Structure 1
């Protein structure tokens, strides 16, 4: 049998006791042989194993409770119940640090509701606060006679001994304290320190994770609120495939698609086909970079077109890199600009009326001469020579075609053009300028020099709009040359206009230079402002250069102006060349 002998040794011993009888010759028991095996160390080891097993079991139960699929309050209460059961304690409270710098009671078990209310908030003078500051396990084996209010209150609850366990974050920062109370004095010992600290750390991790989750949910709600309340469509794109991962409600409303229809749709598919500029922008976008693309044509559901500005930048979306794209509907502005450009065309046509009349009158005069000749010969009854008849018929056909060409060109020019990007050889609209302004240049006795590179690469633009740009610049040059000719001492000055095109370093450049009056620095700085003009009232709208600047900018180009008063002006137009 295993028996504890309290008088053996200093603190008693556990011994394995055996006894065997000693018998006399007659078979009677005359004595006994007793054996004692000291089992104290084995007993201590066994008790240590049982205690360790109990601790592990409790830790597993608490870990399971904290990881259960339930809300934080339910998980903490279950963990507290497991802790009370393990310690056979009488009360557990958990205090957490709040924004006000005080510790607030969040969980309480085993104490009366009145006691919990009285000690629900503890400040820097409390033991809870001091334990948190020291970040050390603290225990009161027996409550002192003089004690803070919080301990006096616990005494009224018959609590006789207390242990305090800090609650730490993953970074080992204390943000709470567990207080465990027992009605038995001298109840807590140092052997419980390790397991209680482990429990405190695990509860701390659970609370911290829950707080982070709560912050994440709040952040997500805030993000969603801001995301969906933004007045502009916003798209979240995969940084590799450019597929739509998310979008706000405004995007769905503006484009007419449901969320399910937009998800995983390549962003480029809601715009014009083969938009290389936008595609390259998405591919080459880097962190800390924001790109803006203006006047892009997008389509609502049903392929209804509208114009947008596209702004994009890099961002983090969860754990992945994404591109945030916002679009701004500028359809109304583009339509007004188109109307303004159209009004400018009508003004230009009015200015060109005399030249166009000349271009049409010349072929009409030829036709009239031929018709008069036919009538005279008919009145005389004379026979017209076959060769003469053939020559005149060919002249009539050629001049009808010439007049038809002028009328067609004017009609095409007057037609409202859309903001499209197609491949254009910039020499073509330059040549067409002389179809409508050629006569005026002759009438004004202007020496025109044209130097066009025949091997220019294409640019992305629209023929009609480019022609308007060059008509505006040539018309201004004619006015500047005439104005200079009226100045004293300038009558014999050469009136020259040079138009030159060439390509260099991936750009197509056109120079329109005149030897007119030139501009002051003040005028040069204001020349692109709408409605600014130096001409007399009724002679100009002040929109020509402004419209030209807007058209050039729409096609990714730029305009530079060099001018000197009394010497002349040069407009330099530069456009990005299209890759062959």
Structure 2
């Protein structure tokens, strides 16, 4: 070999040795712990970083197969050993379990993280990688293993994991629903409170999107999410969400973003405020309804308002207030509110029996009731929907109670969302309490107004009765007094006639009659007499009758002086006792024709069109004939005296329910509303006394003494027939004192007869049963 070649070779060797020295130095000084094994598993490199990690000097192990001493207390292969031996996955798993991973780019490279308890001082977590290297022929010449102390990272990781566990445990006990979303919007966690409120379990929603936003809120929710992604937090957002069963809840939402390692999570806290809003709405509604009471003096208007409030509060298609008619035993609409106007109008005209509607069940039991089953509701109450022309799918009814009475029912019909529940029933019950107070107050108010009208009417009747009696008595008494004076003078001129005692007694009684007006006024004003005055009045009242009776009986020698009291009683019973009435079979048409024919001459001067329709074949009556005659005569006279000339009177009779319905209808001035109730009370006249008292019978406005109708009513009560009156005051005569001219041709308001016939009327109906009471 030439010297130049020798020198070149030596230079090449020197360069290789230098490169080897530098490479060894790099490995030895590398900050990452490294060791290298040859194909015989002997340690060729053991750097300083590994010496520090393992606590072993490299000189002790270089060239040996004790690489295990750096990590374990007993001999066992390390990852590099397994790679050199080309160990299978099963063999690797045997030593490292499932803690290792193959590199996706080179299947002979391995990485793993494990805890090495034998490393000082208390064991260490190492992340290690191993890879083989080959010779020029491609055969494995050894393996390199690098290690990294990740103990601190593992400690922090474990701390974080523990904190996460604690935080998860805390979330388990938080009473508010919580959802944790991944960055992709899928649910990673829901707490038990969420499951309790919304119904979905953790297993049902994990790894899936949770779609529980109502359709009408989706756009708003998207806008909120965009803002949340920018601001990374959301403070108090009030909205609504579905539950698993489809119920809609009012909720308040708070949200924040949290990063866990490389994972971004969104925490959402929800609070169900449905109950709070319901209670607040309930309180506001009760306050609103209570405040509205004075604004609705009319009870029906108030109940319409309450029905509207219930319809809006419960979000239903309709709400009604039904009152219980305890006499007719049915239900009628006092207030109603429906989305459908046709149903609303139809409802106001309908009455239901208790068995035709669901509300009847509430009336009978006194307990609230609800049904969300349309089929069951329709099957049980088919007449309800048929009458209303409306389909009832669900209904909630609560009783309206006053003390221990059920006076009505408050109903909500067809819930638009969700089903009727306990909260709806609670609200309805609260409103029903307010409604009950309003209804009772209205009834008391109506009763007070009615009582006031009655009292006012009675006061007017009292005054009219006093004036009437006074005027009726004055004229005949004056005539009798004058006649008595004339008689006294004539008798005094007749010799042998001694009637001064009798004449004095007559005069004394006439004076008493004159005093009746004053005495009656005193009684009305003072109200009572003392006992002494009462006894004196009773004695004075009986004195003359007793004297007359005794004188008459002495003359007829029928008085027993030894039994004076018994004799006087017998005389009183005979002269003043009740008259007996005998029932007879009566042909009504014949009786009517007889009475009518007898009365015709008495009112021939009146120009009134009287239409009579008394058919043949009427059933016979079993009544005292004089009673039937007095009823027919009294009603005809009453009709004629209240009908102006050129007016009309309809008289008819027809068979009805085993009897006869007798009707007289005059198209006269009619009777005022306040007077209708007192028309049968006796000595009550519908006109002012001075307007008729001087007229002859059957003249327009003549009137009577006010006793005819009372007598008819007493006959009816005693003998078992009935009499009733219906009247409409003439629309042109607003007040009772407004006079009627008594002739249609003279009326300033009537252009033709029809104007008067359509303005007022009075109809008396008498039903005579054909049986004997």
Above 0.5 in TM-score? Answer: no
Q: Whose Rg is larger?
A: 2
**Higher RCO (Cα < 8 Å, 6 or more apart):** 1
Normalising by structure 1, we get a TM-score of 0.39
